């Protein structure tokens, strides 16, 4: 087995454990486990290991981010609705200083006005949105390219 280039964190916010049955006309029918499996396979093909965590609880997500600096090379984050207002998550990401790729299954910019602001975007290296499960795969690819050009 080739040496791992590093470990990546896939982090998921509230209600994303409901994917598969949650508003399938917007989010599709694949489950969170399906998305994690595809993203993990992509990361492994590129030489990286992946851990995946989901929580509905903002404090839990902040705690995970606060300790991520010693474990991970970067984060692919779908903060779900926390994207639009959770400045405490923004601050935690800023403090830890890891490269973050923001991902969304849907394209929040094309949806209700309250989804148009992202408090994650200012602390992310970039955003992938609107490609369904491909957003996670593209997010992993973008993060690994960023890590390898550093
Ligand atoms: C989402 C978009 C958010 O606006 C929403 O609150 C979600 C999912 C997405 O992946 O498209 O829960 O992050």
Identify the residues whose C-beta falls under 6 Å from ligand 1.
15, 78, 80-81, 83, 104-106, 108, 115
pLDDT for 3 equals 83
Q: Residue 9: CB partners within 8 Å, gap ≥ 6?
A: 50, 51, 52, 53, 64, 68, 71, 72, 74, 75, 76
Structural tokens at position 129: 């949105």
| Residue 54 belongs to a domain | yes
Supply the residue whose CA is at minimum distance from atom 9 of ligand 1: 104
| Residue 39 belongs to a domain | yes
Q: Is 117 helix (H, G, I), strand (E, B) or coil?
A: coil
Across the chain, the runs of DSSP E, i.e. the strands, are 6-12, 48-54, 74-78, 100-104, 126-129
Q: 110-142 burial, b for 16+ CB within 10 Å, e for fewer?
A: eeeeebeebbbeebbeebbbbbebbbbbbbbbb
| Residue 1 belongs to a domain | no
Supply the residue whose CA is at minimum distance from atom 1 of ligand 1: 80
Supply the residue whose CA is at minimum distance from atom 7 of ligand 1: 80
| Residue 126 belongs to a domain | yes
| Residue 137 belongs to a domain | yes
pLDDT at 1 over 60: no
Dist. CA 67 → ligand 1 center (Å): 24
| Residue 2 belongs to a domain | no
pLDDT at 148 over 90: yes
Phi-psi region of 130 (alpha: psi -120 to 50; beta: other; left: phi over 0): left
Domain range for 22 is: 7-149
Number of compact structural domains in the chain: 1
CATH number, residue 41: 3.40.50.9100
Mean pLDDT of the chain: 97
* pTM for the whole structure: 0.97
Ligand 1 closest atom vs CA 78? 13
């Amino acid at each position: 087995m080739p040496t791992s280039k590093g470990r990546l964190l896939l982090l998921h916010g509230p209600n994303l454990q409901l994917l598969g049955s949650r508003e399938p006309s917007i989010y599709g029918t694949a489950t969170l486990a399906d998305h994690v499996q595809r993203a993990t396979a992509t990361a492994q093909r590129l030489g990286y290991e992946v851990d995946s965590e989901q929580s509905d609880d903002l404090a839990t997500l902040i705690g995970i981010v606060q300790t991520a600096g010693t474990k991970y090379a970067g984060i692919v984050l779908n903060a779900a609705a926390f994207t639009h207002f959770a400045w405490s998550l923004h601050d935690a990401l800023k403090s830890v200083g890891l490269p973050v790729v923001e991902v969304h299954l849907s394209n929040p910019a094309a949806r209700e006005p309250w989804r148009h602001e992202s408090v994650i975007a200012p602390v992310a290296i970039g955003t992938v949105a609107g490609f369904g499960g491909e957003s996670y795969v593209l997010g992993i690819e973008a993060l690994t390219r960023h890590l390898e050009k550093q």
